[in-house]
Amino acid sequence: MMRPSNDLPEVYLCREPIDFRKGINGLSVWVEDSLSLDPLAATLFVFCNRRRDEVKILYWERSGFCLWQKRLEKARYHGPRKQSGAIVMLTGQQLNWLIDGVDISRLTPHENLCLSSVL
């Protein structure tokens, strides 16, 4: 199974719905033109459709773009509600929660523990 890593450095979630007929070319141009971000950066760009039952993830990997897509059969994606602006920064863990259908605006992860021993 292909999944984004939980320790991704940057993930941008586009808050406004995107026309899902757009493919790699349309989305990469949209990232650069409308969001004023670099689509060639080491980051993931996440988009939802108007019904919020599909998600697309665009990213650049070494020599070309990759596009990942998931469609929910009976549910809807819930993005952060309290934040404003065209884009929202997410962690890799929050992105995976979003992909799983968890409402990330109401859930916060446990604090990471850095232990040196169990003794």
Give residue-wise pLDDT tens across range 30-89: 999 999 999 999 899 999 999 998 999 999 999 999 999 998 888 788 777 656 678 889
- Pick the residue with more confidence: 69 or 118? 69
CA distance 23 to 101: 23
First vs last C-alpha separation in the chain: 35
For the whole model, what pTM was predicted?
Answer: 0.81
d(CA 52, CA 49): 5
> How many Å apart are CA 116 and CA 17, to the nearest integer?
44
The total of structural domains in the chain comes to 1
Q: Is residue 34 part of a domain?
A: yes
Kindly state whether residue 108 falls inside one of the protein's structural domains: no
- Structural domain contains residue 63: yes
Range of 47's domain?
11-100
Query: Burial, 68: exposed, middle or buried (Cβ in 10 Å; 0-12, 13-18, 19+)?
Result: middle
